[in-house]
Structure 1
Amino acid sequence: MKRTIVLNLTVGILFLCSCELDNYATPDIVLEGKVIDVSTGEAIQTRQPDGIKIRLIDEGIISPVPYDFWAQSDGTFRNTKIFAAKYKVSALQGPFEESSVTEVSLDLTKNQTITIKAEPFVRLTNVNITKSGNGIKATYKISPTTSPKKIQRSMLICYTSPILHENTNGKLSSATNILSGMTNGDIAAREFVDEIKNLQAGETYYARVAVLAANSLNRYNYSAIIKIIL
């Protein structure tokens, strides 16, 4: 009986101590923003998940562990569970030259909105994606950037969900434009016309253009996702 009373008292004391030790502020600061093209100011489109990683490094800690989370497919990001601290914020593993990324220093004591600039591997311009009969048609141009990455291929892709990227299971694609044998000048001078035909009437599709420049992670540059109702 005495042993039981002593054990209960010991557990109670430990419980109270643990409550006191764990009495830290909860992470409730919101950090949001977008990753943009350093030249045009437009959001860098990507895949989601595994498209652009946002990394926070706590400057107040020796040998800090990076805090990473993913951006959305339109290049925007939002995290509502961050501790107040001084951080360096950067973007990596996206369809851009990591050496071009502008690191942002933050004293994060309140909710903040930021932009992170980077040089994309390629730029898609004059993009027009429309319904065409029983299919979807895209016209666009590809503008090389200062990136040395060789442009490999492009195509129009679509799916019945807005979760749309090169590895989406069940996605549909136009014929692939093989660009590896073309010069950047020839690519820039060409207007591309891609089409996906014989789609289901009455169905809603999501479509975008995808362009690959050779890179170790096979990250594509994309146009914005467009909703098409056939």
Structure 2
Amino acid sequence: MKNIFYSIALGAAILSASSCKKFDNYDGPDQTLQGTIIDVNTNKPMQSDLSGDAGGSAGTRIKLLETSWSSNPTPLYLATKIDGTYINTKVFAATYNISAEGAFVPLVQPAATPPVDQSQNVEVKGGTTTVNFTVEPLLEVEWVGTPVLNANGSITAQAKITRGTTKTAFQGNLTDVWLYTSPYPYIGSNTNSYDTRYATHLTYSGTTGTALLGTTITITTSLSSGALPKKDWYIRLAARTDYGSKLYNFSDIKLVVVQ
């Protein structure tokens, strides 16, 4: 009787092992997908908000459609960096339709006449695959001169904001300009990424802000909480229009040493 029970148990174990082997034989996500979002006007990486991979509410995100698995795949999204680059080292080897979404003219416009589709069909394999995109930012946000540390402990900066695209359908009115301040060089529109005590927010209604495009805008950090403490501060400019999801375009980040 013991031999019968032993044989039954051994057979079940073999079947279980066989079953696991059959359904757990796929290679893990060991491919690297990387690239750069390039500003068509400057030919440099486009500065971005903190990544919008989780929901597209901010920043740039990379959209993946695994077409080798399904004709109607569920989108996957990858995070991007604030300097306009992205890299993910855990991507499955497969064929993908890849595009990018952010504060720029959409790469895919199915309702346009004629339809626009600047996505890329790419086979990801062999270790590292590089996919770049050239985009038209909604706005260009540039520093004018060097930020100045004032005697009262504030920082004054000057900016020039211009259109990043000539396509009128994507030219909304300028509504917001920010000067963000942070002790860390990772600044975006999320309140956790900058010091709200010293940030300055300029708002405009109607075409008031739009009239300032191409001019020099002066903006100073807030003194509502007093002078900036003596240490290294990173500052960044941001601006947006009322187009679409109202995403921000950004300047690069500058360091100001408060002594």
TMscore range, shorter length: 0.7 to 0.9
Partner of 1:154: 177
Instruction: Provide Cα deviations, 1:85-139, integer angstroms capped at 9, x if missing partner.
Output: 22221012x1112147731221222312221122211112344453513332321
The percentage of aligned residue pairs carrying the same residue is: 24
Match of residue 215, structure 2, among 171, 180, 190: 190
Match of residue 67, structure 1, among 48, 62, 76: 76
Q: Distance in 2 between matches of 1:190 and 1:81?
A: 45
Match of residue 125, structure 2, among 109, 121, 130: 109
Match of residue 8, structure 2, among 3, 6, 9: 6
Match of residue 55, structure 1, among 63, 66, 70: 63
Compared CA separation, residues 140 and 15, structure 1 to 2 (3 A): same
Q: Distance in 1 between matches of 2:246 and 2:178?
A: 15
Q: Contact 1:31–1:80 at 8 Å: present in 2 too? A: yes
For residue 225 of structure 1, give the secondary structure of its aligned residue in structure 2: strand
Q: Distance in 1 between matches of 2:253 and 2:142?
A: 14
Q: Distance in 2 between matches of 1:177 and 1:127?
A: 20
- Is residue 2:20 matched to residue 1:18? yes
Match of residue 141, structure 1, among 149, 160, 165: 160
Q: Distance in 1 between matches of 2:93 and 2:35?
A: 17
Which deviates the most, 109-118 or 125-134? 125-134
More strand by share: 1
Compared CA separation, residues 219 and 210, structure 1 to 2 (3 A): same
Report the Cα offset of residue 199 of structure 1.
Answer: 0.5
Report the Cα offset of residue 189 of structure 1.
Answer: 3.7
Task: Give the number of aligned pairs.
Answer: 227
Q: Contact 1:91–1:101 at 8 Å: present in 2 too? A: no
Q: Distance in 1 between matches of 2:161 and 2:11?
A: 72
- Is residue 2:147 matched to residue 1:130? yes
Q: Contact 2:61–2:100 at 8 Å: present in 1 too? A: yes
Q: Contact 2:143–2:157 at 8 Å: present in 1 too? A: no
For residue 132 of structure 2, give the secondary structure of its aligned residue in structure 1: strand
RMSD after superposition: 2.4
Counterpart code for 2:238:
A
For residue 164 of structure 1, give the secondary structure of its aligned residue in structure 2: coil
Match of residue 176, structure 1, among 202, 213, 231: 202
Q: Distance in 2 between matches of 1:204 and 1:16?
A: 60
Which deviates the most, 115-124 or 12-21? 12-21
Partner of 1:76: 85
Partner of 1:96: 104
Structure 2 gap ranges (5+): 53-58, 110-115
Q: Contact 2:62–2:77 at 8 Å: present in 1 too? A: yes
What TM-score does the superposition give when structure 2 sets the normalisation length? 0.77
Q: Distance in 1 between matches of 2:209 and 2:229?
A: 37
Compared CA separation, residues 120 and 179, structure 1 to 2 (3 A): farther
